Amino acid sequence: MGKRTEPVVNIKAIEASWVWQMQGACRGKDSALFYYDDNERGDNKENKTATAKAICGTCKVKQECLAFALQINERYGIWGGTTPEERESIKRREYRQRAKAQP
């Protein structure tokens, strides 16, 4: 067996993919603010969403967070200042744009 010259796992690439999470404005906050039950409705849901979005609005890694949520198809919670419904809308819009760009 030959001597291995490349690492089996690229630690730097893996670290770069999650290190932004350490810088989120939500770090240390109650995660319940960012998630609501499927059957939660009305003021409670709206208040949670508004509070979470306000925190996201101050977050310096908001773009990375949103990109990650879109990439992994995150179906729950507020990520990158968006609700699951808003992320679905973004994905549909991106899909339509890609479809239009096809010859």
For the range 10-13, what are the long-range contacts, defined as Cβ-Cβ under 8 Å and sequence gap of 24 or more? Answer: none
DSSP state of 101: H
- The tokens for 82 are 């968006």
Count the site residues for ligand SF4 by CB under 6 A: 14
Please, what is the minimum distance in Å from the beta carbon of residue 68 to ligand SF4?
Answer: 8
Please report whether residue 36 would count as binding ligand SF4 according to CB under 6 A: no
Binding segment toward ligand SF4, per CB under 6 A, in 5-13, 39-47, 61-69, 84-92: 61-69
| 55 binds ligand SF4 per the rule CB under 6 A | yes
- The single residue listed with the structure tokens 């499927």 is 38
Indicate which single residue of 59, 70, 71, 72 sits in contact with ligand SF4 (rule: CB under 6 A): 59
Give the residue carrying structure tokens 């010859």: 103
Q: Is 65 in the site for ligand SF4 (CB under 6 A)?
A: yes
Q: Which residues bind ligand SF4 (CB under 6 A)?
A: 24-26, 34, 55-56, 59, 61-62, 65, 78-81
